[in-house]
Chains A and B, each alone.
Chain A
Amino acid sequence: MNSVIKQIVAIVRKDLVEAKRDRFFTLLISFLSIAAFISLTSGSIALATDISTYNAAKATLLALGKSLNAIAAPEFYPLKLLRGAVEQIEIIGAILGILIGFRTAMSERGHQTLSIVLVRPVNNITLMAGKTIAGITLIALSLLIVFSVLTATLAYFAAIAMTADDLWRICIVWVLSVTYISTFFVVAMWLTLSFKTPSTALLVSFVLWLMLVLVAPQVGDTLDPDNQVAGGVFKQLHIPKAEQERIKLGYASYETVRNGIETASITKHFERASFAILGIKDTYTNMSIAPILHDKSGDIWGVILSFFITTLIAMSRKLTLKSQQ
C-alpha cells in the first residue's frame, strides 16, 4: 500500500514539474483568464452605462418635477456580473481540460516513457490515478488563478466590499468548475492513451466537446417555444401565468424530451447549478445558499457523477504497450 502511494506521488510530482516547465500550460491559463476577464469587464461596463443612463433620466425627471416611478432602477447584484465569465469557463474551460488531458498523455507517448513505465511493476490504476490527481491539481490551480483575477476585478468594479457569503459562493462554483473541467480532462487523457493516433484522439475529444457543450444545449434551447418568439410566445400573446401553466400541461411530454436533451449534457448541469449559486438566475437572486444547494442538488450530483463515471471507465481500461506503438 505504501509503495502504491509512493508511486502515485512520484507520477503526480513528475507531471507537475513537467507542467511547470511547459510554456503551453501557461498559455492555456492566460487564454482562459483573459477570456473570463473580458466577459466580466464588458458586463461591468454595460452595467455602468445602464446606471449612468438611469441617473441622467432621473435627473431629467426631477428637473421637470415628475415622479421617479416612470423609470425602473437598474438592479445591481455584483455576482450576476460573473455570468459571462462562467460561460467562458463552461465553453473554453472544457477545451482547457481537453488540452491538459491530451498534453498529459502526450508527455508519456511523445517521450516514449509510457513503455518504460509499463514494463515496471506499476499497476494500471496507480498510473491513471497519479495522472488524474496531477491533472486535477493543475486544473484546480489554474482555476484558482482565474477566479482570483475575477474576484479582484469584481471587487474593483462593484465598488462595494465583497461579503463572506459572496466569497463562499465563488468558492463553491470554483469546486464545481474544477469537477466539470476535470471530466473533460479525464476523457481526453483516456482517449489519447487509448487511440493509435494522438491527433485522432484530440479530434474525437473535440467532437465530444461540440456535442456536449454546444449541440445538446443548443437543441434544448431551440426546442423551447418561448425562445422562438422575441420576448417569449406567452408574453407576446398576453397570456396570464395560470393559463400559461394550463397550456404547458398539454406539452408535458414534449417538455420532458426537451429537458432530457438538455440534461444529457454535463454542461447544462454545471450551468444551472452555477447560475443558481451565484444568483444569476432571477429565481435564486438574494436567496440564501442552503436552499439553493438543496434545490440544485440534482445538477450538482450530475456534475460530480459525470466525473466519477468517466474516471472509473478510464481507470478500468488496461493500457498495453501495443496501443502505444
Chain B
Amino acid sequence: MAALRLSATSHIATHSLKTLFGEKTVWLFILLFTVLVVLSAYLGWSANTTVDAIYTDAKQYLLKAGNPVPPNPVMDSSPLSMLRNLSVYFGLIGVLVAIVMGYQLIAEDRKSGVLPLIATRLTSRREYACAKVGVFSGVLALLTLISLLVCGLVFVCLPSISLSGSQLRQLFEFHFFAYAYMATFGLFAMGCTAFAKKQSIALLTPISLWLIITFILPSLMANVNPTAAINPISTLVPVPDSAFFTIVHGYLAPIALAQNFDAISAQLLEYGPILSPLPVIQWGSLICAFTLSALFAVEAIGRMRMEKGAFNE
C-alpha cells in the first residue's frame, strides 16, 4: 500500500515536472533570473572597479594639492558586498519566478481538466499536495543552487578576492533565507491557485501581496520611497524618530518580510550594519511566514474540489 502511495505521489511529481518545464513562460522567468544573478555579480564588480579607478585619479589630485588622502572606500568594503544586488534580484525576479511556478503547477492541472482523473488514482488528497509542494520546493532549491554556483564562480574567477570560512557560511545562510523568502510567495501562490475560482485572481492575489510587502509597507513603516526597493543601500534607512513610525514599526515589523529580508541580506553580505547574532524578529518572521505559507498551500491543495477543478474563466 505504501509502495502504491509513493508511486502515485512520484507519478504526479514526474508529470508536474514535465508540465512545468514544458511551459515557455517558466523557462523565460528562470532564464531571466539566472541572467540577472550573473548580472548582479558583474554590476558589483564593475561598480567596485570604477570606484577604485576614481580613487586612483582622486589620490593623484589630493597628493598634488598636498591634502590628506583618505582610505580607498573599495578596500574598506567586504568582498561579499560585491554581491549586494543579489538581495534586490531575489526580492524582485526571484519572488516573481516563485509565484509563476507556484501558479503554473496547480493552474495547468485545473485548466487541462486532468484533476478528476488524478482524483481517481489517489487514496488521499495529501498525496497530490505533497507531490506539488515537493516539486515546487525542489525546483526552487535548484534555482537557489544555481545562484550559489554563480557566486562561487565569481570568486574563483577573481583570485584577488578571497572569502574566509565565516564569509562562506554567511553566503550559504543568505541563500537559505533567500530561498525561504521566495518560497513563501510561491507556496502562497499555490494555495491561492487551488482556492481561487478565476485564473486572474489566482495570479493577482499573490502579486498584490508582494506589491504591498515590497512597496507599501516600507513607506508606511519607515517613510522609505518605493524606488528604494531597487537599491540595496537605500532600503537600510533607520526608522524616523517619531511616535507614529515607532508605533507602526512595532506592530508591523513581524509582517514586513521585504524589510526583514533586506536587513538580513545587508548583514550576511556585509554591506550594512553588522548585528551579531541576527535579530530574532528578522529571521523569525521569514521562517514563520515560510511555515505558514507551506501549511496554507498544503491545506488549500488538500481541500481542492478535484471533481470540479476547472476555473470559471
Contact = CB atoms under 8 A, between A and B. Distances in A.
Interface of A: 31, 34-35, 38-39, 42-43, 45-46, 48-49, 53, 83-84, 87-88, 90-92, 95, 99, 102-103, 106, 110, 198-200, 202-204, 206-207, 210, 214-215, 217-219, 221-223, 225, 227-230, 233-234, 236-239, 243, 247, 250-251, 254, 271
The 4 closest A-B pairs by CB, nearest first: A49-B242, A218-B230, A87-B226, A46-B223
Contact of B241 (A53, A102, A110, A207): A53
Interface stretch (B51-59, B122-130, B279-287): B51-59
Contacts of A214: 92, 229-230
14 contacts: A46-B240, A84-B219, A84-B226, A87-B226, A91-B226, A95-B211, A106-B200, A214-B229, A215-B93, A223-B47, A233-B73, A247-B58, A247-B61, A251-B53
B112 to A, nearest CB: 12
B159 interface: no
A221 B234 CA distance: 11
* Interface size band for B: 35 or more
A42 B220 contact: yes
Contacts of B51: 225, 228-229, 233
A99 B92 contact: no
B189 to A, nearest CB: 12
A199 B207 CA distance: 14
Nearest to A84: B225
A84 to B, nearest CB: 5
Contact of B220 (A38, A99, A221): A38
Interface string B254-270: 00000000000000000
Contacts of A203: 25, 28-29, 100, 203
B32 interface: yes
A208 B231 CA distance: 19
Contacts of A92: 211, 215, 226
A86 B208 CA distance: 19
The A interface is mostly helix, strand or loop, or mixed, namely: helix
B245 A45 contact: yes
B219 A42 contact: yes
Contact of A222 (B85, B203, B208, B215): B85
Interface string B78-108: 0000000100100011001000100100010
Contact of B36 (A215, A223, A254): A215
Given A39-B226, A46-B223, A91-B227, A222 B43 contact: yes
A38 B219 contact: yes
A45 B219 CA distance: 11
Given A217-B227, A233-B54, A35 B215 contact: yes
